[in-house]
Amino acid sequence: RGAVRFENVVFGYDKGATILKGIDLDVPAGTTCAVVGPSGAGKSTLARLMYRFYDVNEGRITIDGQDIAGVTQASLRAAIGIVPQDTVLFNDTIGYNIAYGRAGADQAAIEQAARGAAIAGFIERQADGYATRVGERGLKLSGGEKQRVAIARTLLKDPPLLILDEATSALDSRTEAEIMETLEAIERGRTTIVIAHRLSTIVNADQIVVLEAGRVVERGSHADLLAAG
Ligand code: ADP
Ligand code: ADP
């Protein structure tokens, strides 16, 4: 589930310049594709097209073979988990922030869902004792911890397709590497698109696509790209 294809996708924002100039992309279900490239290359734009925040001007995008032009934005949002760079947390507990929107208004249910998330997926394995901290207030968290909360919240949805849009780019490289390692360990088999700017963080991606000025200028494995210089 979650296989993504871009076929000659062309896109420009309202009356502006063409941003994506004919993108072809093939992300088989269950694989990880990293998209790297300089700032302004069109990486975030590419991500936004997948959940129809904007529609393509030419070409098409399919998910599991279905042209998304025929799918509502609401159902795409339900099927795609997106983790952005900046997470804004409620001034409430880690548990509340993880479970927000999933567990209803009942505080006990929220805490329950948060514990479930911690044990089933992300937080427990990230750092010893973390699961016991679900009652801690969100604003005391470090940047890395906030992004872990954001990722856990997204994984609770169990989305077939996960998009990390510079989700760890603002963190120091060690914290970023730790989060990526955890994700790789628990998310193997989920179709994942990682938008990043450090090549070092995406060594295990099945494929890496280099975007420059709206075009794919290189694609291959991490080793291929290093060999190509
Ligand atoms: P990247 O993620 O690779 O840094 P973006 O996709 O954010 O690149 O941006 C690609 C280009 O599109 C940039 O020139 C940027 O200024 C432009 N752009 C991004 N968002 C918008 C928008 N909402 N309206 C108009 N232009 C935009
Ligand atoms: P989904 O959770 O299905 O992706 P949304 O796209 O509505 O649904 O929300 C994405 C995430 O944004 C939610 O998990 C929630 O934690 C957060 N969120 C939603 N509304 C707000 C808000 N008003 N303030 C801060 N965060 C919010």
Residue of higher predicted confidence among 82 and 140: 82
Q: Which ligand is nearest to the CA of 169?
A: 1
Q: E strand or H helix at 8, and its extent? A: strand 4-12
- Report the 10 Å Cβ neighbour count for 206: 14
pLDDT band at 112 (very low <50, low <70, confident <90, very high): low
Report the residue among 100, 110, 147, 165 best suited for mutation to probe ligand 2: largest number of ligand atoms under 8 A from its CB: 100
The identity of residue 214, as a single letter, is G
pLDDT band at 121 (very low <50, low <70, confident <90, very high): very low
Report the residue among 11, 15, 19 best suited for mutation to probe ligand 1: largest number of ligand atoms under 8 A from its CB: 19
How do residues 52-95 score in pLDDT, each as one tens digit?
999 999 999 999 999 999 999 999 998 999 998 888 888 887 77
The identity of residue 112, as a single letter, is Q
**Interface pTM (ipTM) of the complex?**
0.68
Measure the CA–CA gap between 72 and 214, rounded to whole angstroms: 26
